[in-house]
Amino acid sequence: MELELRGITKAFPGVLANDNVSLTARSGQVLALIGENGAGKSTLMNILSGIYRPDSGEIVLDGKVQKFHDPGEAIKAGIGMVHQHFMLVPVFTVAENVVLGVEPTFFGNILNAKKANKEVQEISQKYGLAVDPKAKIEDLAVGLQQRVEIIKVLLRGAKVLVFDEPTAVLTPQEVIEFFGIVAELKSRGATIIFITHKLKEAIAIADSITVLRGGKVVGHADPKTTTQEELAAMMVGRPIDLTVNKAPAQPGAPVLTMSSVTMTDDMGRALLDDINLEVRAGEIVGVAGIQGNGQTELIEAITGLLPLAKGQIKLKDMDITGSKPRQIHRDGVAHVPEDRNEMGMIGSFTVAENLVLDSYYSQPYSHGVRLQRGAIDEGARILVKDYDVRPPHIENMASALSGGNAQKMIVAREFSRDVPLVLCAQPTRGIDVGSIEYIHEQIVRKRDEGVAILVVSTELDEIFALSDRIVVMFDGKIVATLNTSETDPTQVGLYMAGKNS
């Protein structure tokens, strides 16, 4: 199915999110849509899938002009949006989730489980989307959950598939599998739109690349001939240096010391298994590992969000084992959380409120119990400017920020604190190359100021670009501690896969 967007324009209060955007996507091809944070990619796709209505412009499918009043109509017309989060019911099986809403019912609303299982099986065989229809969603890895989402839209007859940053939460292995799925869909004539911030990926799988900036299409590129540098420059409007420039670390005294830290779940299984870790002032320690191997627990142990079963955590000379999160925060730990929507921000609060989310109770943001709006707004205006959060309207709801700008807001909040230890979990997830460059610079600047930094990332590139030392986590344990200069991604990759070479 050929898709054409003609002159799509969409304004939000104070922002022109899409400004006369036209593009074409062809059957059996992958169109990569790239652009800075806030360039209007998600907005455009939300228009295509009927979630927003454009102020002007047309959606044309196989030469016919379409008008979508709601997502249901877009689905009927063959548009399938693959969402990443929260669209599946965790306690339902794969088949139940897939047929939810289009149950092949027998009589009224009785779920015909057999038929549902069969339909899922058929689709997953046809497209090579191996997944057990009877498995519960909550037991599946993120990559498999994504497959379920894909099956869901295929079952509804989607001819145009939209993926909004599908690889942001996938492991490297899952990304490879995902590309396989995309190739299969392509060969069966699907029209695919793929949004990503990873230029490497765009070059690897797209047939054509369209670049958005400030709501406008600023150019097209041919993946066969273009380079990451060229794409980055088109996106941001200036050349980008994709490598991190930093002098060798000058590590000082230990700031974070974890000794024999163990954490267990309700069933007594070890989530963290005898962790010994030291991060010294003025060094960046990168935690590599496939998602779900204890990195989240490691961070939440340090911040006091999850209780330890045993072990000790020290901040400088202070024992912070068992302290409350508020106390640890005060003692001097900044934390960019892994899950920005669930933890890092409150969507219905303003940008200014989010910028004091964990310091609202301290001077100068409050006197006694009275919040000082003036001080809060003033601080927010400075941070929004320094960290280039766009649009810079501090009184807007945080939920109106694009994904990457929300991340910048959180980074701004945590990095602006003058503390000895900064924990960054996936600090650049969903962020455009220009902002990655900036955030990486900030991390290095903090290090050079003598701050101890722990970076958790599933991106090996990021780990290698930033870290002075690398620890690899596997199954709740630290399986390797390496000097960045003495190792390489292949070796780390083996440790990540649990193969203690």
Partner 1 sequence: MSSQLDPQAQEDLLNPRERSFTQRLATAADWRSAILIPFLAVISALIIGLIMIILTGSSFSEAMNAYLALLDGSVGSLRAISETLTAATPLMLAGLSVALAFRAGLFNIGGEGQALIGGMFAVWVGFSITGLPIFIHLPLAIIAGILGGAIWGFIPGILKAKTGAHEVITTIMLNYIALRLVDFLLKTTMFQREGRNDPVSKNIEVSAEYPTFLSGIDSALRVHAGLFVALGAAFLIYWLLFRTTIGFEFRAVGANPSAARYAGISVTKVYILVMLIAGALAGTAGAGQVLGVLGRTTPGFTADLGFDGIAVALLGRSNPWGVVAAAILFGGLRAGGQQMQVSASVGIDLISVIQALIIIFVAAPALISAIYRLKTPVASAQISKGWGA
Residue whose entry in the numeric block shows the structure tokens 């072990």: 311
To the nearest whole angstrom, how small is the minimum distance from the Cβ of residue 161 to Mg ion? Answer: 17
42 binds Mg ion (CB under 5 A): yes
Specify burial of residue 365 (Cβ count, 10 A radius: 0-12, 13-18, 19+): buried
Residues at the interface with ligand ATP (CB under 6 A): 12, 15, 17, 35, 37-43, 391, 400-405, 432
- Amino acid letter, residue 327: Q
Residue whose entry in the numeric block shows the structure tokens 């063959």: 78
Q: Which does 78 bind (CB under 5 to 8 A by kind): partner 1, ligand ATP, Mg ion, none?
A: none
Q: What are phi and psi of 356, to 5 degrees?
A: -115, 20
Residues sharing a CB contact under 8 Å with residue 368, sequence separation 6 or more, in sequence order: none
Based on CB atoms, which residue is closest to Mg ion, 159 or 197? Answer: 197
Strand partners, 216: 213
Based on CB atoms, which residue is closest to partner 1, 334 or 482? Answer: 334
**Starting at the edge strand that comes first in sequence, how are the strands of the sheet with 469-474 ordered?**
333-336, 421-425, 452-456, 284-288, 469-474, 477-483
Q: How many Cβ atoms are within 10 Å of 310's Cβ, its own excluded?
A: 13
Based on CB atoms, which residue is closest to Mg ion, 33 or 356? Answer: 33
Q: Which does 183 bind (CB under 5 to 8 A by kind): Mg ion, partner 1, ligand ATP, none?
A: none
Q: Which does 371 bind (CB under 5 to 8 A by kind): partner 1, Mg ion, ligand ATP, none?
A: partner 1
407 binds Mg ion (CB under 5 A): no
Q: Which residue of this chain has its Cβ atom nearest to Mg ion in the complex?
A: 42
As a whole number of angstroms, the distance between CA 388 and CA 427 comes to 16
435 binds Mg ion (CB under 5 A): no
- DSSP string of 325-341? HHHHHHHHEEEE-S-II
Based on CB atoms, which residue is closest to ligand ATP, 149 or 432? Answer: 432
Q: Which does 38 bind (CB under 5 to 8 A by kind): Mg ion, ligand ATP, partner 1, none?
A: ligand ATP
Based on CB atoms, which residue is closest to partner 1, 44 or 155? Answer: 44
Residues at the interface with partner 1 (CB under 8 A): 41-42, 45-46, 49, 51-53, 70-71, 81, 83-86, 164-165, 168-169, 195, 303-308, 321-322, 324-327, 329, 335, 337, 341-349, 353, 357-358, 360-361, 366, 369-371, 373, 397, 399, 402-403, 429-430
Cβ-contact 41, 33 below 8 angstroms: yes
As a whole number of angstroms, the distance between CA 425 and CA 63 comes to 46
Based on CB atoms, which residue is closest to partner 1, 12 or 179? Answer: 12
Based on CB atoms, which residue is closest to ligand ATP, 45 or 182? Answer: 45
Cβ-contact 31, 192 below 8 angstroms: yes
- Name the token pair of 498: 């649990």
Please give the residue ranges that form the binding site for Mg ion (CB under 5 A): 42, 403
